[in-house]
Amino acid sequence: MTESAIVPLPDAAAEGSAARAHLMRRLLRNGTGLAAIIVLVLVVLGAIFAPLLTHADPNKADLNSLLAPIGPGHPLGADAAGRDVLARLLYGTRFSLAGALLATAIAAFIGVVAGLIAGYYQRWFESIASWAASLLMALPAIVILLAARAVLGPSMWMSMAVFGVLLSPAFYRLVYTAVVGVRNELYVDAARVAGVGDASIIGRHILAVVRAPIIIQAAMVMGISIAIEAGLDFLGLGDSSIPTWGNMLNDAFSKMYQAPVLLIWPSAAIALTSVALVLFANTLRDELERAGSGGRAKVQSTATGTVFGEPAIVHADEPGSAAPILAVHDLVVGYDRPGGEFKQVVNGVSLTVRRGEVHGLIGESGSGKTQTAWSILRLLPEGGRIAAGTIVFDGVDLSTQSEKQLCRIRGRRISYIPQEPMSNLDPSFTIGSQLVEPMVVALGISRAEAKRRALSLLARVGIPSPERTFSSYPHEVSGGMAQRVLIAGAVSCEPDLVIADEPTTALDVTVQAEILDLLRGLQRDLGVSILIVTHNFGVVADLCDRVSVMREGRIVESGPVRELFRDPRHPYTRSLFDAILEDGAARGALAHSSDRHTVKEGAR
Amino acid sequence: MTEPLLEVKDLVVEYPVKGYRRKPFRALKGVSLDVQPGECVGLVGESGSGKTTLGRAVLGLAPVTGGEVRFKGRDIGHLSRGQRRGLASEIQVVFQDPYSSLNPSLTIEQSLTEPLRVRKVAAVEASKRVRALLDQVGLPTGAAQRLPREFSGGQRQRIAIARALALSPDLIVCDEPVSALDLSTQARVLELFKEIQESTGVAYLFVSHDLAVVRHLSHRVAVMYQGEIVEFGDGDKVTSDPEHPYTQRLLLAAPVADPDRQEQRRADRHRLLAAQTQLEEQTRVA
């Protein structure tokens, strides 16, 4: 297989727009989302077509129909001034929505623009903008609105505009955080190097990322604005000359004992609209998150795995090899996909690790080598399971053990060294406590005894000052030191088998050499078996006794390291050896380049 | 000897450290280097050695505190954003991570035409250029309408190379462009770099942590250690018979894919470390 062959995907070109259409469809299929959208559409239509829905004038007082009941002339009755309630409600929708829209638009405009600039350029603008945002958030909104009314007069538009400014930090914070997240993406750097202007970068690369969160935030802010607007009018601080839901509420409140039903209409409008907006925002967010994590409600398929592919080429063992500690036979591992599909990633792996041996499992990314290692520990990620095969560890089949039984084996008899040392240490605990705790639980020894052992282990793995490292936190040590700590942890409970998943990949080459020395020394002293997953033939040559080469979920070739390296038989193994650059010819000098050779003096 | 394409002289880069009156972090401590037209200069070092910072300083993405960066004789270390944009057609970049170096929501064609659009190249002309570029990096023309997530790491890196070539630059800064790739993919992408250099005459500043990769592609090699270039010279010599103690350690630390020779190399390394420690102690005593 060549890497330039594109994996065919159904309908690949249209996938971008399809994803968006898909989101809308899922929003409509979601019960809550559908209900919220219907309510919002009805409210907006009501506002737009108000003149068609009622012929009454919302402001025309009629002394003949004061507090008129529901009847043919007034579908929802009339209020204390004899104005038609339905007309006031429909026209009020116009003003209430427009007011909320104004506040939201102002908040979004200020917040988004400031957030984009502050996030992208940072420096002094960021300091000022963040300070201003904090100040605005600290101000009590209602006091400011009262003050604004006192100065600017009772205009709904004015108070909504002020409220918009007060709400702008909600957008600012959101956009700022998102922009800071993407501005260091390499594609933004690449665009800068390509000579793309800042405005174009922001519009093309950055705005796209923050679009969805802005829509969600806008729906939330709009709901709040409607409630605040109604609240101001209800308190009598609004402009009573226009029909709004808040003014209706205020009027109805004064006649609560004569006509309580009048309170229902504006309250229902406010509540329904606000709730619909918030639910719409929530559903949108949920659906977006779901899109990221790929499908909901995993269906557990009952598909059993199938072993396929050619059998492995096995080089004969040297006579007199030790008994196996781990024997994996026809292991099939896969992941349940939504829709009952079963995606198989390991297609029948058979593997034997002998007592006291270092076994290398080598393959390229996606070959299933890490999946194999995880299944032995039964630590497959969500949705993954062993579909067939056996994993016999010291006479016990791990694939059929209960979780409780496995807990007695994991950490005590089989331990694990991960690839990323830093992310495998808990940053909130000291290194010492992370070493002591497992020993106390697994070996049943006292804390003092565990501490004594931990210190001697830290010294054993080559940490210069064990006492100091014992009491430091993970961020205070280097990556190489962290890996030594994890190795100390892995051997602390005297396991029979250590599974090391690319233990040196994240490390510098000089540190890698030290860690390999350490693993070799520990293996010799403790006689432990090691299964080491790697993609580096040099690591295998350095450390391993036997090796298995994996490709597409199968082992294609296995045998003693010297044998296999001298005589690789499978074409894939041979192609891997051919790709190794070490000892290849150097490029040589450029025809007209200088041949000066400079060496820095004084540096070690 | 011709005038160098790129000349870095006593370059110092400092990053501000958060906190009042804290001393800035000095990532480069006076680095000098030159790249000739059509040449590949390898820059090798471990994490934190400053190799990536040097590349970014050449690209105008890192602050130049002292010294100078000259490109075709002109100082480009202190350009404004606007002036810098003018250099886009001369200095380009290929980054390490093929996953974050392409915007996931843009099609390959949109990503590739971005530098062309800035130069006001007509749409028809631009899409013709995209087809030629894809062909040059060994991808089918049909790739243009697809999104980055449909491609493997090696293919994405080819796309990133195509983007760098779009404006026919004279220098490409390659920041660990093959480190995230599998062994066999890595070999093919390196071959592509070589082919492109031979056919277009572009120069590379090739940053990598892997001595073998650098050796394969570079005419000359510079070795960085703690913000300084400790050794700079002929690629073959530096990567097989280095003079600086650090380069010697680096060379012997990389394991070879042969159990017997690796055993030998391991022994050599232990001997070298012992000798270097001894030498250090002697100098301390003296």
Whole-number Å distance between alpha carbons of A133 and A130:
5
Whole-number Å distance between alpha carbons of A214 and A111:
10
In A, which residues are within 8 Å of B108 by CB distance?
A: none
- Residues within 8 A of A (CB atoms), B 11-30 only: none
Is there a single domain that holds both residue A524 and residue A485? no
CB within 8 Å of B278: residues ≥ 6 apart: none
Q: What is the reported pLDDT for A438? A: 87
Is there a single domain that holds both residue A455 and residue A501? no
Which residues make beta-bridge pairs with B232?
Answer: A598, B222
Q: Among A41, A16, A20, A18, which residue's Cα sits nearest to residue A280?
A: A41
Residue A14 has pLDDT above 60, yes or no: no
Is there a single domain that holds both residue A121 and residue A224? yes
- Backbone Cα Rg of chain B: 21
Whole-number Å distance between alpha carbons of B146 and A16:
9
- Selecting from B114, B219, B240 the residue whose C-beta is nearest the C-beta of A196 gives B114
> Which of A61-75, A250-264, B138-152 has the weakest average pLDDT?
A61-75
Whole-number Å distance between alpha carbons of B164 and B173:
9
Q: What is the reported pLDDT for A170? A: 92
> Whole-number mean pLDDT of chain A?
84
| Residue A392, domain CATH | 3.40.50.300
Q: What is the reported pLDDT for A180? A: 87
Q: Is residue A101 part of a domain?
A: yes
Whole-number Å distance between alpha carbons of A472 and A466:
10
Closest chain A CA to residue B32: A598
Q: What is the pLDDT of residues B199-253, one digit of tens each?
A: 999 999 999 998 889 999 999 999 999 899 999 999 888 988 999 999 999 999 9
In B, which residues are within 8 Å of A509 by CB distance?
A: 46, 209-211, 250, 253-254
pTM: 0.78
- Residues within 8 A of B (CB atoms), A 539-558 only: 539-542
- Selecting from B89, B97, B256 the residue whose C-beta is nearest the C-beta of A538 gives B256
**Averaged pLDDT for residues A211-240:** 87
Is there a single domain that holds both residue A374 and residue A471? no
Higher pLDDT, A309 or A74: A74
> Whole-number mean pLDDT of chain B?
88
Q: Is residue A305 part of a domain?
A: no
Q: Is residue A479 part of a domain?
A: yes
Helix%, strand%, coil% for chain B, nearest 5: 45, 20, 30
Q: Out of A466, A494, A522, pick the residue that ends a domain.
A: A494
B187, B178 in Cβ contact below 8 A? no
Is there a single domain that holds both residue A472 and residue A543? no
Q: Is residue A4 part of a domain?
A: no
A278, A217 in Cβ contact below 8 A? no
Q: What is the pLDDT of residues B154-185, one digit of tens each?
A: 888 889 999 999 888 999 999 988 888 888 88
In B, which residues are within 8 Å of A186 by CB distance?
A: 95-97, 100-101
Residue A63 has pLDDT above 60, yes or no: yes
In B, which residues are within 8 Å of A7 by CB distance?
A: 150, 152
Is there a single domain that holds both residue A19 and residue A75? yes
Residue A367 has pLDDT above 50, yes or no: yes
Residue A75 has pLDDT above 60, yes or no: yes
Q: Is residue A6 part of a domain?
A: no
Is there a single domain that holds both residue A479 and residue A542? no
Tell how far CA B245 is from the center of its chain.
23
- Selecting from B59, B153, B182 the residue whose C-beta is nearest the C-beta of A535 gives B182
Verify whether the Cβ–Cβ distance A205 to B103 is below 8 Å: yes
Q: What confidence tier does A320 reach under pLDDT thresholds 50, 70, 90?
A: low
In B, which residues are within 8 Å of A197 by CB distance?
A: 85, 118
In B, which residues are within 8 Å of A508 by CB distance?
A: 46-47, 209
Task: Flag whether residue A285 sits within 8 Å of chain B, measured between CB atoms.
Answer: no
In B, which residues are within 8 Å of A187 by CB distance?
A: 100-103, 111
Is there a single domain that holds both residue A136 and residue A77? yes
Whole-number Å distance between alpha carbons of A410 and A404:
10
Pick from A127, A192, A193 the residue to mutate for testing the B interface (most B CBs within 10 Å): A193
Q: What is the reported pLDDT for A595? A: 61
Is there a single domain that holds both residue A215 and residue A121? yes
Q: What is the reported pLDDT for A13? A: 39
Higher pLDDT, A165 or A74: A165
Task: Flag whether residue B186 sits within 8 Å of chain A, measured between CB atoms.
Answer: yes
Residue B119 has pLDDT above 60, yes or no: yes
A265, A91 in Cβ contact below 8 A? no
Task: Flag whether residue A184 sits within 8 Å of chain B, measured between CB atoms.
Answer: no
User: How many C-beta neighbours within 10 Å does residue A302 have?
Assistant: 9
Tokens 């956009």, located at residue: A175
Residue A219 has pLDDT above 80, yes or no: yes
Total residues found in chain A within this entry: 604
| Residue A135, domain CATH | 1.10.3720.10
Q: What is the reported pLDDT for A238? A: 78
Residue A590 has pLDDT above 80, yes or no: no
Verify whether the Cβ–Cβ distance B219 to A589 is below 8 Å: yes
Q: Is residue A309 part of a domain?
A: no
ipTM of the complex: 0.85
In A, which residues are within 8 Å of B102 by CB distance?
A: 187
In A, which residues are within 8 Å of B233 by CB distance?
A: 595-598
Whole-number Å distance between alpha carbons of B178 and B185:
8
Task: Flag whether residue B47 sits within 8 Å of chain A, measured between CB atoms.
Answer: yes
Is there a single domain that holds both residue A358 and residue A486? no
In A, which residues are within 8 Å of B186 by CB distance?
A: 579, 581
Q: Among A245, A238, A227, A222, which residue's Cα sits nearest to residue A146?
A: A238
- DSSP code string of B87-124: GGGTEEEE-S-TTTSS-TTS-HHHHHHHHHHHTT--HH
**Averaged pLDDT for residues A292-302:** 47
Residue A588 has pLDDT above 60, yes or no: yes
Verify whether the Cβ–Cβ distance A597 to B185 is below 8 Å: no
Verify whether the Cβ–Cβ distance B61 to A594 is below 8 Å: no
Whole-number Å distance between alpha carbons of A285 and A546:
51
Whole-number Å distance between alpha carbons of A178 and A167:
18
Helix extents (H) in A383-478: 403-409, 431-443, 447-460, 466-470
Domain interval for residue A387: 317-413+495-603
Q: What is the reported pLDDT for A392? A: 92
- Selecting from B1, B119, B228 the residue whose C-beta is nearest the C-beta of A594 gives B1
CB within 8 Å of B228: residues ≥ 6 apart: A600, A603, B28, B29, B30, B31, B50
Exposed, middle or buried, A492 (CB in 10 Å: 0-12/13-18/19+)? buried
Q: Out of A246, A266, A296, pick the residue that ends a domain.
A: A296
Residue A19 has pLDDT above 70, yes or no: no
| % of chain A surpassing 90 pLDDT | 27
Is there a single domain that holds both residue A271 and residue A380? no
Task: Flag whether residue B155 sits within 8 Å of chain A, measured between CB atoms.
Answer: yes
What is the number of CB-based contacts under 8 A between chain A and chain B?
256
Is there a single domain that holds both residue A78 and residue A151? yes
Q: What confidence tier does A168 reach under pLDDT thresholds 50, 70, 90?
A: very high
Q: Out of A494, A526, A544, pick the residue that ends a domain.
A: A494
Q: Is residue A397 part of a domain?
A: yes
Count of domains for chain A:
3
Q: Is residue A5 part of a domain?
A: no
Residue A11 has pLDDT above 80, yes or no: no
Q: What is the pLDDT of residues A36-60, one digit of tens each?
A: 999 999 999 988 888 888 888 888 8
- Residues within 8 A of B (CB atoms), A 211-270 only: none
